[in-house]
Structure 1
Amino acid sequence: MSHQAISLPRWIDIGLLPMWNLFVALLVTGAVVVLIGQSPLQALSMLLQGSLGSVRGIGYTLYYATTFIFTGLAVSVAFHGGLFNIGGEGQATFGGLGVALMALALGPLLPAPLILPLLVLGAAVFGMVWAAIPAYLQAWRGSHIVITTIMFNFLASSLNVYLLVNHMRPSGSMAVESAEFVDAARMPALHELAANFGVELPSSPLNLSLILALLASAFVYWFLWRSRAGYALRAVGSAPRAAHYAGIKPRMQVLLAMGLSGALAGMVGVNEISGVQGKLTLDFVAGAGFTGIAVALMGRNHPVGIILASLLFGVLYQGGVEVAFEMPGFSREMVVTAQGLIVLFAGAMAAVSAPMFAKLYTAFKNRKNGAAHG
Structure 2
Amino acid sequence: MIVERRTFLRTAVIGSSAAAFGGTLWRGAAFADPAQPAPGPYGALQAANGNGIQLPSGFTSRIVARSGQTVPGTSYRWHSAPDGGATYADGSGWIYVSNAEVSPSSGGGASAVRFDSSGTVTAAYRILGDTNNNCAGGATPWKTWLSCEEVTRGYVYETDPWGVNAAVRRPAMGRFKHEAAAADPDHGYVYLTEDESDGRFYRFRPTTWGNLSSGTLQVLVAGSGTSGPVSWANVPDPAASSTQTRHQVSGAKVFNGGEGCFYAAGTCWFTTKGDNRVWAYDATTSSISLAYDDSLVTGGSAPLTGVDNVTRSASGDLYIAEDGGNMEICLITPDDTVAPFLRITGQSGSEITGPAFSPDGSRLYFSSQRGTSGSSSGGITYEVKGPFRG
Higher relative contact order (CA 8 A, sep 6+): 1
Fold in common (TM above 0.5):
no
The structure having more radius of gyration, on CA atoms, is 1
TM-score by length of 1: 0.26
Greater helix share, 1 or 2? 1
